[in-house]
Copies of this chain bind each other. A is one copy, B any other.
Amino acid sequence: MAKYLIVGGVAGGATTAARLRRMDESAEIIMFERGEHISYANCGLPYYVGDVITERENLLLQTPESFNKRLNVDVRILNEVTKINREQKEVEVKDLKNNTVYTETYDKLIVSPGAEPIKPPIPSINDSAIFTVRNVKDTDKIKSYYNEHKPQKAVVVGAGFIGLEMAENLHHLGMMVTIVEMAEQVMTPLDYEMAAVVHQHLKTKNVEFFLKDGVSEFERKGDYLEIRLQSGRKIEADMVILSIGVRPETKLIKEAGIDLAPNGGIQVNKYLQTSDEHIYALGDAIAFPHPITGNYTNAYLAGPANKQGRLLANNLVLGHKYEYKGAIATAIAKVFDLTVGSTGLAEKVLKKKGIKYISNITHGGSHAGYYPGATPTSIKLMFHPETGKLYGAQVLGYEGVDKRTDLIATVLQNNGTIYDLQEIEHAYAPPYSSAKDPVNQAGFTAGNIIEGLVKIMHWDELYQLHAPNNFILDVRTPDEYELGKIEGSVNIEVDQIRNRLDEIPKDKKIIIYCGVGLRGYFAARILMQKGYSEVYNLSGGYKTYEHATC
C-alpha cells in the first residue's frame, strides 16, 4: 500500500489527491494544509470581495470533511509541514491548532505550496489597512475591514491581473480607486500598445492610475493612509491592496537541499520530479522549461496546476508514463467591460531574448458586422518571420476574446504556425463569428507579411519617423480623415488610388494607413504592383496608432 503525503491542499495538492484516490482506492493519502481551508477558489477571491460572488461558501469547492467523505483522503488543515527529512523519508509537521510537532513518513512526497504575495520592506507596510489577496482568510480580513470602516478611497499597488480584478471589484463596491504601477503600463503580459487600450478603458471607468511610479512609503494619518510615491506624489487612501506579484514558496524545498532552478522556482523534470526522486512538486512553486524559450519559468496559473496534478497522480500510480510539456502562460482577465487574453510570449520578451520575430495587429469584429451587437476584437500575433511558427498572441475585446485566445493557444501549444490559424474551420453563424473568423484573418494577414505581399510598419516606428523622404498616405474617406489623422499625411481614398497614382511620388517611401489596416493593405497591394518599391502598411491602422500615442 503506497503512502503519499501532499503539502498544500488547494489547486495542485487537492487535484493530485483526488486523482490519486481514483487511481488507487487503497493508497494512504494524507494532505497537509497550513491554512483553515482546502480547495478554495483562489481565482474567485476578488469577486467575493466585490460582492459579485455573494456566498462565501461558494468559494469552498470542498471542505476537509466533504473531501474525506468523497475521496477518503486524510485532510489535515492547520497543519504546516515545516521540514523534510529526506534520509528518513519523513516530514515534520506543526499542528497549528495544538501547537505540537509530529513526523509522518512517506513513500512519495508531493509538494504544491503555491506562491505568496510579495511584500517589500516599505515603511508601514504592515498597517492594518494594507492587504494582500491570496486566500479566503485574506478576503475575510478585507471584507470585515470594509464592513467596519466603510472605506471610500482605495489604492491598488501593482496592476497585474489580480490588481486589476481587485480594482474593478473595489470600484464595484463604490470606492474611488487609484492604481499605482511601476511599469509604463498595466498588465505586463501585454505589449504597450495593447495595454494602452486598457488604460483608456480604465479612464472611462474613472479609475485613476499612475504609471512608472512606485510606493516609497506608507504613513498612517489618523483614519487614513498617506501613500508616498517615488515621484514625490502623495495619495490618500482608506485602504490599500498590495498586488505587485508573487514569489514561489520554496523554503521547505530549499532547506531540504533540493535543487531550485535559476529563476528561484522548484526545479522539476518532465515527470514533475524534483532532484530527490521521491519528492515531486507542482503548481505555482515549480519552474519548468518554457516550451518556446527553454528557460525555466513559473506559471502562476490554475489551469496548469490542475492539469499537472492529474498527470502527476497518473505517473505516481502507473510509473513515469506521461510527460508534462510545460505551460505557455495562457491567461485572461476581465477588466470592467473589457476582456484581455494572452498566450505565449509578448513582443517585448521576444525582443529581450533576441528571438527573431514579426508582430502584427489586426482589428476585427466579435461576429458578423451585419448581425446586431458585434463589438471590436483586436489581435496581436507574434510569429517567426519565415516559418510563421507562432510565438505569442494578445487578444482584446468585449466578447469572444476567450475563444480567440483559446484557439490561438491551442495552435501555439502544438507548435503550430500562422498557416494553421488560416485553416481553422471554426463554427460560423452570424451571432458567433464571421465566415472568416478574426483568428483566420490574423493568420491571413500574417501570411501576407511573411510572403512579401505587404510590408508593415509599426505605430512606434511611424511615430519616430522624422525623415523627410516619406509620404504618409491616408486611404480612409475624407470624412474619417477630417475626424483625426496622422500629422503630415495626405488623403487619397483607397477606391481612388488607381486613378490618382500621379499624386503619389515614386521616389519616396510610402507609408499607408487606414482605420484598422485592411484598406491600407488593399492600397499597398495596388501600389506595390504599380511599381512603387518601398511601400508600408501601418500595422493596426490608425486605431492602434491613436491608442498607443494619445
Q: Which chain B residues border A59 with CB–CB below 8 Å? A: 370
Q: What is the 8 Å Cβ interface bit string for chain A, positions 460-502, against chain B (1 contact, 0 not)? A: 0000000000000000000000000000000000110010000
Question: Contact at B368–A44, with CB atoms within 8 Å?
Answer: yes
Q: Does A146 contact B (CB under 8 A)?
A: no
Across the interface, A410 reaches (CB within 8 A) one of B58, B400, B407, B422, namely B407
Which chain A residues (298-343) contact chain B, with CB distance < 8 Å?
Answer: 301-307, 310, 325, 327-328, 330-334, 339, 341, 343
Question: Contact at A53–B372, with CB atoms within 8 Å?
Answer: yes
Report the minimum CB–CB distance from A150 to chain B (whole Å). Answer: 24
**Which range holds the interface residue count of chain A?**
35 or more
Report the minimum CB–CB distance from A328 to chain B (whole Å). Answer: 6
Across the interface, A44 reaches (CB within 8 A) one of B370, B409, B426, B453, namely B370
Question: Contact at A306–B436, with CB atoms within 8 Å?
Answer: yes
Q: Does A413 contact B (CB under 8 A)?
A: yes
- The docked-state distance in angstroms from the alpha carbon of A143 to that of B271 is 64
Across the interface, A432 reaches (CB within 8 A) one of B71, B402, B409, B494, namely B402
- The docked-state distance in angstroms from the alpha carbon of A43 to that of B427 is 13
Q: Which chain B residues border A521 with CB–CB below 8 Å? A: 22
Query: If the complex has contacts A425-B304, A429-B334, are A25 and B530 also in contact, measured as CB distance less than 8 A?
Result: yes
Question: Contact at A430–B332, with CB atoms within 8 Å?
Answer: no
Across the interface, A424 reaches (CB within 8 A) one of B71, B333, B406, B424, namely B406
Q: Does A126 contact B (CB under 8 A)?
A: no
Which chain A residues (110-167) contact chain B, with CB distance < 8 Å?
Answer: 161, 165
Q: Does A345 contact B (CB under 8 A)?
A: no
Question: Contact at B410–A427, with CB atoms within 8 Å?
Answer: no
Question: Taking CB as reference atom, which chain B residue is nearest A425?
Answer: B330
Q: Does A357 contact B (CB under 8 A)?
A: no
Q: Which chain B residues border A330 with CB–CB below 8 Å? A: 425-428
Question: Contact at A409–B433, with CB atoms within 8 Å?
Answer: no
Question: Contact at B405–A41, with CB atoms within 8 Å?
Answer: no
Question: Taking CB as reference atom, which chain B residue is nearest A496?
Answer: B69
Report the minimum CB–CB distance from A449 to chain B (whole Å). Answer: 14
Query: If the complex has contacts A425-B304, A436-B306, are A430 and B370 also in contact, measured as CB distance less than 8 A?
Result: no
Query: If the complex has contacts A22-B453, A325-B423, A409-B425, are A433 and B307 also in contact, measured as CB distance less than 8 A?
Result: no
Most chain B Cβ neighbours within 10 Å, of A343, A406, A433: A406
Question: Contact at A302–B425, with CB atoms within 8 Å?
Answer: no
Question: Contact at A430–B303, with CB atoms within 8 Å?
Answer: no
Report the minimum CB–CB distance from A527 to chain B (whole Å). Answer: 9
Across the interface, A427 reaches (CB within 8 A) one of B47, B343, B435, namely B343
Report the minimum CB–CB distance from A516 to chain B (whole Å). Answer: 15
Q: What is the 8 Å Cβ interface bit string for chain A, positions 60-81, against chain B (1 contact, 0 not)? A: 0100001001111000000000
Q: Does A355 contact B (CB under 8 A)?
A: no
Question: Contact at B431–A334, with CB atoms within 8 Å?
Answer: yes
Question: Contact at A426–B409, with CB atoms within 8 Å?
Answer: yes
Q: Does A233 contact B (CB under 8 A)?
A: no
- The docked-state distance in angstroms from the alpha carbon of A381 to that of B3 is 36
Question: Taking CB as reference atom, which chain B residue is nearest A519?
Answer: B70
Across the interface, A41 reaches (CB within 8 A) one of B22, B61, B370, B422, namely B370
- The docked-state distance in angstroms from the alpha carbon of A430 to that of B168 is 14
Q: Does A504 contact B (CB under 8 A)?
A: no
Question: Contact at B414–A427, with CB atoms within 8 Å?
Answer: no
Which chain A residues (1-60) contact chain B, with CB distance < 8 Å?
Answer: 11, 22-26, 41, 43-44, 47, 52-53, 58-59
Q: Which chain B residues border A402 with CB–CB below 8 Å? A: 400, 403, 426-427, 432-433
Question: Contact at A70–B428, with CB atoms within 8 Å?
Answer: no
Q: What is the 8 Å Cβ interface bit string for chain A, positions 279-304, against chain B (1 contact, 0 not)? A: 00000000000000000000001111
Known: A22-B525, A328-B425, A341-B427. 7 other contacts (CB 8 A): A41-B368, A41-B430, A43-B430, A44-B368, A330-B428, A402-B432, A413-B425
Pick 30 A–B contacts, CB within 8 A, sort by A. A22-B521, A24-B529, A43-B429, A44-B368, A44-B370, A53-B370, A66-B495, A72-B498, A165-B429, A301-B428, A302-B428, A303-B428, A304-B425, A307-B422, A330-B428, A331-B429, A332-B428, A333-B429, A334-B431, A343-B427, A402-B427, A402-B432, A403-B403, A405-B426, A406-B406, A406-B407, A406-B437, A409-B427, A413-B423, A414-B420
